Copies of this chain bind each other. A is one copy, B any other.
Amino acid sequence: MKERKVPDVVARRLPRYYRYLDDLLKKQIYRISSSELSRKMGVTASQIRQDFNFFGGFGQQGYGYNVEMLHKEIGAILGLYSGRKTIIVGAGYLGHALANHTNFKKRGFMLVGVFDNDKAKVGRKISDLTISDYDGIADFISENQPDIAILAVPRTAVKSVAENLISLGIKAIWNFSYTELDEQENVVIENVHLSDSLMMLSYKLNALDD
């Protein structure tokens, strides 16, 4: 039951633990030891125990970990299943892909709106929602109070859209544009750089021949 600040490196491992626990539940495995899990995940049992103990003792000596309980605890730490209202801004291919991302609902996020400034798109269906005009987003936000905005807009629009959303009360931005948004007081920014990932793949591919 530690109160030390959680190192970033530990926090960033949580989603992966969560996925593996998901998997175990799907396979109806309800109990696991740190050493079994370490074999599955390719990390050390020591690291697993250290990591979990940043958040308190989830295990039991002589027994191991209860998968359901651990899954629930880590889900809670990650803030899942709290029904965060989420909107998507930008209904291009990426916006569509993200709207249809099934894990989304499964993780307890509530998609409540999709917006685009292209009048031709407004009114069309995306997943089970209707695309709304970006012009009306201020009213929508003040009425529905969503927390999270997913930005799938062209890079030229990102900065101004982000500023607008933040001024309207959005608390977290998941940004898929190449343009990196800077950290801000009281707003969570998560920049996804798909091209970084592709460059790493390329790097590893290059290294393969050495």
Complex contact B201–A190 (CB within 8 A): yes
Contact B94 A198 (CB under 8 A): no
> Count of A residues near B, CB < 8 Å?
51
Stretch touching chain B among A13-21, A56-64, A113-121: A13-21
Q: Shortest CB–CB separation between residue A180 and chain B, in angstroms? A: 8
Q: Contacts A101-B194, A104-B195, A201-B148 given: A78-B15 contact, CB under 8 Å?
A: no
Instruction: Find out whether the CB atom of A188 lies under 8 angstroms from the CB atom of B208.
Output: yes
The 8 A CB mask of A186-206 against B (1 = contact, 0 = none) is: 101010111111111111111
Which residue of chain B lies nearest to A152 when distances are taken between CB atoms in the complex? B97
**A79 located at the interface, meaning its Cβ lies under 8 Å from any Cβ of chain B in the complex:** yes
Known A78-B206, A104-B195, A196-B16: A188·B201 in contact at CB below 8 Å = yes
A164 lies within 8 A of chain B by Cβ? no
* Contact present for B200 and A190 (CB under 8 Å): yes
- This protein's copies in its complex: 2
Interface residues of A in 55-107 (CB under 8 A from B): 77-80, 82, 84, 92-94, 96-98, 100-101, 103-104, 107
A39 part of interface (Cβ distance < 8 Å): no
| Contact flag A148-B205 (CB < 8 Å), given A92-B97, A200-B190 | yes
Q: Which chain B residue lies CB-closest to A6?
A: B207
**In the complex, what's the smallest C-beta–C-beta distance from A118 to chain B, in angstroms?**
15
Cβ 8 A contact of A178, one of B92, B103, B195: B103
User: Does any Cβ of B come within 8 Å of A109's Cβ?
Assistant: yes
A153 at the interface (CB under 8 A from B): no
Give the residue of B14, B16, B188, B195 whose beta carbon is less than 8 angstroms from that of A205. Answer: B188
A172 at the interface (CB under 8 A from B): yes
